[in-house]
Amino acid sequence: MSGFKKFLMQGNVIDLAVAVVIGVAFNSIVSSFVADLLTPLISAFGGLPDFSSLKFTVGESNFMYGKFLNAVISFLLIAAVLYFLIVKPYTHYKDRAATREEITHRDCPECLSEIPIAATRCAHCCAEIARA
């Protein structure tokens, strides 16, 4: 039981739990934005009062495709927000950090072992090397 408690108290599990709670809250905000603000704005141009009331009937079954449209719009908005606010800046940061990596070593032309960039003699084969 102590191993399970130790696992639950790890930082990764707690961070994941916080992320899930924030994600659920964010989902409700986006769903409300789509259903209460964006859908009526779109429907003002299309003439439909609300997407959630859209349906078609086959026999005795009602297919509520309007609610599905709201869910698709919510998903696309959440995906766009995640991409533009998290993925794109992180990728940009990661690319900049990769270009800033300082080159501190090079390969010896004689034995191909790794030596410091300022070295004039290889520590492995003792070959004299021109300064880079």
Q: Which CATH number do you get for residue 17?
A: 1.10.1200.120
Q: Rounded to 5, what percent of the chain is helix, strand, coil? A: 60, 10, 30
pTM of the shown model: 0.52
Q: Are residues 80 and 95 in the same domain?
A: yes
Q: Are residues 34 and 96 in the same domain?
A: yes
pLDDT digits (tens, 9 = 90+) for 19-55: 889 888 888 888 888 778 877 777 777 666 567 778 8
Query: Taking the CB of residue 115, how many other CB atoms lie within 10 A of it?
Result: 19
Q: Are residues 21 and 86 in the same domain?
A: yes
Burial class (CB in 10 A: 0-12, 13-18, 19+), 70: buried
Q: Are residues 57 and 115 in the same domain?
A: no
pLDDT digits (tens, 9 = 90+) for 101-125: 677 888 888 888 898 888 888 888 8
Structural domain boundaries enclosing 132: 102-132
